[in-house]
Structure 1
Amino acid sequence: MTTALICIDMQMGMADRIAAGRPQANPMAEAHVAALLALFRARGLPVVHVLHDEPETPFQRHLPAGAPMPCALPVTGEAVLWKSRSSAFAGTGLEALLRGQGTQRIVVVGAVAAFCVTSTVRAAFDLGFQVVLPGDALLAFDIPAHDGGRIGADEVLRVTLSLLGADFATLVTADQVSGVLAA
């Protein structure tokens, strides 16, 4: 079974949030993303980078915040797609690219767990892809609560993974992905 790695929104704007002290879960997420990129590259498996490019935000391809983070720099031969919506499938050609490669299963890493990662995982499931989600290779931040206050980053990630793991993805750790690829 062909498996591709989808690396979502690992952009300098995320690094800026972290550097500014924004509460986050998974302080090792960047290292896990880099390790998974290395694993897929070493095995000659497809890697696709999907980056956010949205007017009126810092996440634009021509701005510093839109550049890829050092841990997730694309290399020659890897597809780089730009999106202006939450899901990596919305208007990017990602589905056609994956189907053209014969991809049936995807491993999704990146940012932000409760937003673009969630949208992408749900869309992938709806399109018939098997989804593997290494929860420790996701960036997750605190968010404002609908009824006031804030929801901590760890709780946001816990709820996000619980929802996605219930129906849409197989939850693993970054260290377990090599075993998934062997299966």
Structure 2
Amino acid sequence: MEPLATNAALLIIDMQQGMNHPRLGRRNNPHAELQMQHLLNAWRRSQRPIVHVRHMSRSPDSVFWPGQPGCEFQPALCPLAHEQVLEKNVPDAFTTTGLERWLHVRSIKQLVIVGVITNNSVEATARSGGNLGFEVIVAADACYTFDQTDLAGRLWPAEDVHALSLSNLAMDYARVIETAEILAAAAPLQTD
């Protein structure tokens, strides 16, 4: 992979305390948060832009209903005062958040996306980013999802849901790679 742009943005999607709620079920990729932390630390060291996206649900029974602890960022991934925070009400972080304009104003063309849920907010945001002409990179090992029952009642393991979602993205919308490769592409700027 070629070196990342000096202004490549890291989008951390929905890393809120509600993601740890037992009602969401069994998840895959138990080390995803650690990979996200590695990327966040690298972005902070290189002073690249960071966007923290927070989901604020419109459903009162959601773990992300405003005013509940589930809305708060997970401590290890909390934004710093100067980092951008966007709130969304739907899976796609581009919808009615001003994200596209925020990126264009800063001439940002590259986006590295991490977070949750792979087949929901991560996928929706990556698809929009790709459709809008951004160069989107999804860190496969810095995302996760949950077991999912399909419309026929079949239970799909989170690992399969994650793999299929990433495969869908890799077809037309994003480059899907591991954190280590992204960190290697970000490294040249860190030594300045």
Structure 2-normalised TM-score? 0.89
Cross-structure match for 2:11: 6
Change (3 A) 1:179 1:170: same
Contact 2:21 2:63 in 1 (8 A): no
Report the counterpart of residue 110 of structure 2 in structure 1.
105
Q: Distance in 2 between matches of 1:91 and 1:62?
A: 21
Q: Which amino acid aligns with 2:119?
A: A
Which of 82, 85, 90 aligns to 1:80? It is: 85
Amino acid at match of 2:30: P
Structure 1 length normalisation: TM-score? 0.94
Match of 2:69 in 1: 64
Partners of 1:108 and 1:11 in 2: CA distance: 16
Residue deviations 1:136-171, cap 9 Å, x none?
000211111111121100000110111111111111
Question: Which of 131, 134, 145 is the matching residue for 2:136?
Answer: 131
For residues 115 and 64 of structure 2, the distance between their equivalents in structure 1, rounded to whole angstroms, comes to 15
Aligned mates of 1:3, 1:21 — CA distance in 2: 32
Q: Cα distance, 1:21 vs. partner?
A: 8.3
Task: Mark the CA change 1:123 to 1:152 in structure 2 (over 3 Å): closer, same or farther.
Answer: same
What's the offset of the Cα at 1:108?
Answer: 0.2
Distance in structure 2 (CA, Å) of the matches to 1:31 and 1:22: 20
Classify the secondary structure of the residue corresponding to 1:103. coil
Q: Secondary structure in 1 aligned to 2:95?
A: coil
Which stretches in structure 2 are left out of the alignment for 5+ residues? none
Percent of paired sites with the same residue: 31
Match among 50, 55, 62 for residue 52 of structure 1: 55
Compared CA separation, residues 32 and 63, structure 1 to 2 (3 A): same
User: Is the contact between residue 31 and residue 71 of structure 1 (CA under 8 Å) also seen in structure 2?
Assistant: no
- Find the aligned partners of 1:62 and 1:33 in 2 and give their Cα distance: 25
What is the one-letter code of the residue matched to 2:183?
A: S
Deviating above 4 A after TM superposition, structure 1's stretches of 4 or more consecutive aligned residues are none
Measured after TM superposition, the shift of residue 89 of structure 1 is 0.4
CA offset at residue 61 of structure 1? 3.9
Shift of 1:24: 1.1
Q: CA RMSD in A?
A: 1.5
